[in-house]
Amino acid sequence: MKNANSIFTRTNRVVIRQFDRQDIEAFYQYRANPSIAKFQSWENYTYEDAESFVQHQMTQKPNQPGTWFQYAIALSESNQLIGDCAIHTLDSEPRIVEIGFTLAPEYQGMGYIHEALSSIFEYIFMTLNKHKIIAFTDVRNEKSIRVLERLEMRREGHLLQNYMSKGHWVDEYQYALLQSEWAAKHH
């Protein structure tokens, strides 16, 4: 099992922790899945990509302005990697963070991502003391939209042709949640 200082937060079913070498295979499996890659920036993801990504993440620290940090989402009981959540601490304003997330297809639709992100939101607001969380999603990504809205994030904008993905300009929705809004609902 992982040592305690690499665990950031946990719930009954999931643990949010630093990536480890044991995660490479599972990470590769879902990153290489075309249904997962559809709304993501990558395509043709290789085992070598996964290996170098995980090794890099093992050396990173969260909450560094201007960087993305990838948190591993694993099952509490088995420590099996089922997804990840990236947090981008903005360089221009480090009290605001952008999130992104991916969940392996066989674990979708069971409430895992809601549970994991709820826990991560608490960590972002209470431990890291951030002012605001933002997220961007492709307007066609209905699953991601449902996740963000279930987390009570507010849709702040519809950004036309905001993102170049696989040779096409993509419309995005921007979502946000203030620490004060979150605190009003959770305390």
Task: Identify the three-state secondary structure at position 187.
Answer: coil
Spatial separation of the C-alpha atoms in residues 70 and 162, rounded to whole Å: 23
Q: What's the pLDDT tens digit per position in 46-88? A: 999 999 999 999 999 999 999 999 999 999 999 999 999 999 9
- Residue 43's pLDDT is 77
Report the run of H or E that residue 121 belongs to, with start and end: helix 112-122
Question: What are the structural domains of the chain?
Answer: 4-186 (3.40.630.30)
Spatial separation of the C-alpha atoms in residues 80 and 74, rounded to whole Å: 5
Task: Identify the three-state secondary structure at position 47.
Answer: helix
Residue 166, pLDDT > 90, answer: no
Spatial separation of the C-alpha atoms in residues 12 and 10, rounded to whole Å: 7
- Residue 5's pLDDT is 56
If you average pLDDT over residues 151-173, what whole number do you get? 93
The pair of structure tokens assigned to 50 is: 């996964």
Residue type at position 149: E
Kindly report the pTM of this predicted structure.
Answer: 0.92
> How long is the chain?
187
